[in-house]
Structure 1
Amino acid sequence: MMKAVHFGAGNIGRGFIGSLLHHSGYAVTFVDVNKTLVQALREKKSYEVVFIDEQDGREVISGVSALDAGEEQAVIEAIVKADLITTAVFVTMLDHIAGAIVKGLRERIKKNQKPLHIMACENAINASSVLKAAVYRQLTPAEQQAVEGVIGFPNVAIDRQAINRQQGEITTAYVERFYEMTVNESQLIDGIKPLQNVSYVRDLEPYIERKLFLVNAAHAITAYMGYLYQCATIQQALEQPEILTVVNRALAETACLLQVKHGFSPVELQTYIQTLLRRFANPLLSDQIARVARSPLRKLGMNERLVGPARQLLARNLPAEYVSMGIAAALLYDAEQDEEAEQLQIYLRDNGLEQTLLHYSGLDKEEPLLNLIKAKLDELRKLTGRTGRI
């Protein structure tokens, strides 16, 4: 049986990537910092995936093992023998795990010259390329040459919702039944397709942007608008007509961009939108606003889910009224338990809107988007009575 090493044994790691690896014929070794979870997986050698839907389906993923991230030599040995390496650790942690991968690759190139793919399955743009850059920074030029053409870092676009549910076995993962993974076929070594039941495409950008500008943008807008209207969950937010209208109209704007830029058909995009709204509205998910809204600074980045499509729409003389309202809602997000929200509000207070958007989003006062965001901020303040803490 083929062997896979997967970094990150969280809900997505187990419920999505681990399941996908299992069904593609891999024996999976999880690497994680959660000692309790690692010990439970090690003892059980299996875990259950529960699908959060009315059918209450479930499956058992067997033949798994687990390593504590601190077991350096064992992790190295697993990398040497692996047929595939995957991650689901959050993109901000890729630098951290790069060191362990580097140590494993140094031993591997001495003992095993079989092609190896390393796939960062993160909710971020070109995460595998980010991981490759972090790995290559720690390799010598000679080591880089040795792994080039043997170790591939194909980028992927992923989509599946998971929730943390504190009941039953610690190893049980709770995910929605829907999933999607698209792999950049042009970055594969020797044309080897390492996973089954995924899509392979020659150009990943359209699919990355479809996910980012539809799924991620709509999720973020729902969360920030929901926060302003004092909703606890995404499901509650979408029950508010005012919020659902904003989300639907923002989706119409970003769908127009995807149609013009990438050639997706209107019918295809509408089907995609209807599916994602059904997924978001799933009452069994009970997805907390605080979880989806967290990390606003990252989500306000120039090429991220809100500012990215808004800038591209305006550059093509297309409307961006409701995506801009989502940006304004994010700027009013002032949850005290969120460190990035605190940081954002302090920066706004001390530096003003223009400097804040220059600093975090790369906008300057000459861009038409800035005035649009200002107008939407005023509109939201009047509608909701919320001003942020600025």
Structure 2
Amino acid sequence: MALDPLFAPYERGDLVLPNRLALAPLTRNRAKGTVPAELNAEYYAQRASAAFLIAEGTQPSAISQAYLDTPGLHSDEQQAGWAKVAQAVAAAGPAKLVIQLMHGGRVAHPVFNGDQQPVAPSAVTAEGTVVTGDGSVPFVEPRAIETDELEAVKGEYVHAAQRALAAGAYGVELHAANGYLLHQFLAEKTNHRTDGYGSDVAGRIRFVVEVVEAVAAAIGERRTAIRVSPGHAVNDVEEADPQTTYAALYEELARFDLLYLHVLDSSPHAGYDVLDQARELYPGTLIANPGFSQEFDFEGAAERIADGRFDLLASGRPFLANPDLPHRLREGAPLNEADGSTFYGGDAQGYTDYPTLDELQTTTN
């Protein structure tokens, strides 16, 4: 069968996964008051046949919140909410829950955090707007993080990662993609620093590597993952030479025995095959995400896995609309269509009410 490689188990050291399909991190704006609740637990538990459940972008501090009703992991209440999610996933199994830590940096907004000015590598305002409870508002100018403040920002990631494991998550994914804080350090347009954390490739990758190092030291290298999107200009980030930047970053990441490297296939933006570069230079587990390029479908992903070009596939919208996606693919069954009008915010509609194949067959028999 053309899709068989998607269902092959994956083993690396003590990591044993039942298949090669991961739920991609998807912002759904349904953590009311930034605290995960029963509805969120149900959503993730429904998709627990995946290898990894990579949970939505979760702010490690109040000042890092970029969107309405996204979960945090910097308070006891938020940690207790994530514990409910982890317990539900463990009961449904066999997926391993990984919580993505996402610091918005300059695309965070004061409306979400008590009117605090956002922080960023440099005081460069992002073009565009963000949706709030009162409609869309422009991004605001961030404050450049002082050199002596960088340790505290690293500490936010570390403390959130420790809370994630205390809540029962398997690990964390550091979001260094899509124009958020760590990506802002990597990109020339958003990083104008002259203190050793900018100016050249070595400077721009430095803070990202230090965050990886700090989190890995706190929770373990095999519980720490990272996501990147080379050359992807979302959120007004621009990189002049991503191929050189990420070659240097992968060389540094290769010093750690990380849980995985998650690469968004931003090849059309970067101008080179970003997945092939990652495979060549990074020796550990590689998760590919087709992102917005749509250059490979499930059959194409299975072929690439069989060829060793990457190890797992992170699927977003198909997994959103098909909580039993591995089962459907194995059976060759039709897939539910995702309802774009319910992607962001709302209630159970378009979130936990997509039927499984078994449920559809029950209703038609």
Do the two structures share a fold, i.e. TM-score over 0.5? no
TM-score by length of 2: 0.28
Determine which structure has greater relative contact order: mean sequence separation of CA pairs < 8 Å that are 6+ residues apart, divided by chain length: 2
